[in-house]
Amino acid sequence: MLLQLQNITKGYGEPGTHSYRAVLKDLNFELAQGTKVAIVGPSGSGKTTLLNLIGALDQPESGRILFEGKEITGYSKTELATFRNKHLGFVFQLHHLMPQLSLWENVLLPLLPQGNKISKEQKDWAEYLIKKVGIWEQRYQKPSEMSGGECQRTAVIRALINKPKLILADEPTGALDEENATALTDLLKQLSDDEGVTLVTVTHSSVLAEQMDKKFTIRKGNLE
């Protein structure tokens, strides 16, 4: 298994007080390498909360998270950051591209914390991805000079630049019109198929959910 969540509990506020609100309750989830899953559920049901736990951006109150059989719950902040950088790619509803950087620079940005110079191989990989999604012409443009769909495609490539094992997407098509949303959905599916990347996407879009191998619904703090 690539990822295992065991008996995960997570809420907000001070446990044991009135302010506490349980969001995930004794949740279990397993994800095999190469699978693509959608997570759906009403607003406030805990989809982003779950994705933040899987993405090691937040810690559960109890339970264990294992990645490739190794427990990551209990890692230090630095270890979690290294883990994220090495294994995960993120795509959000809003692209979060750096406004002052070009498409090309935004795509290469996740490689910089590794300290080394960006290699020829990495540049070739970036070029391959940018061409593949059809925005090579726009590579020197800044986000303000690109369309919403182009920005979101850039964000998808940025998530792939580190060759992650797992991509986490939170409403990746949420800010796009129908045509662009469909194009991005196809792209996510195609890229994860071609590159063998595992994909977890939170979505309100039934079109996107239908394209995945499995669909889970968060209900009463658990996955069905």
Ligand X SMILES: Nc1ncnc2c1ncn2[C@@H]1O[C@H](COP(=O)(O)OP(=O)(O)OP(=O)(O)O)[C@@H](O)[C@H]1O
Tell me which residues touch Mg ion (CB under 5 A): 47-48
If residue 21 lies in a helix (H) or strand (E), which one and from where to where?
strand 21-31
Distance of closest approach, residue 176 Cβ to ligand X, in angstroms: 16
The residue whose Cβ lies closest to Mg ion is 48
Query: Which residue in the set 29, 36, 37, 49 belongs to the binding site for ligand X (CB under 6 A)?
Result: 49
Tokens 């397993």 map to which residue?
A: 30
Establish if 48 lies at the interface with ligand X (CB under 6 A): yes
Q: What amino acid occupies position 128?
A: Y
47 part of the interface to ligand X, by CB under 6 A: yes
Among Mg ion, ligand X, none, the one that 160 touches (CB under a kind-dependent 5 to 8 A) is none
> Which residue reads 């809003």 in tokens?
94
- Name every residue whose Cβ is closer than 8 Å to that of residue 72 and which is 6 or more positions away in sequence: 56, 65, 66, 80, 83
User: Which entry of Mg ion, ligand X, none binds 12, CB below 5 to 8 A by partner kind?
Assistant: ligand X
Q: Which residues contact 51 (CB under 8 A, 6 or more apart)?
A: 39, 168, 170, 200, 202
Residue (26 or 195) nearer to ligand X, CB: 26
Interaction site with ligand X (CB under 6 A): 12, 23, 41, 43-49
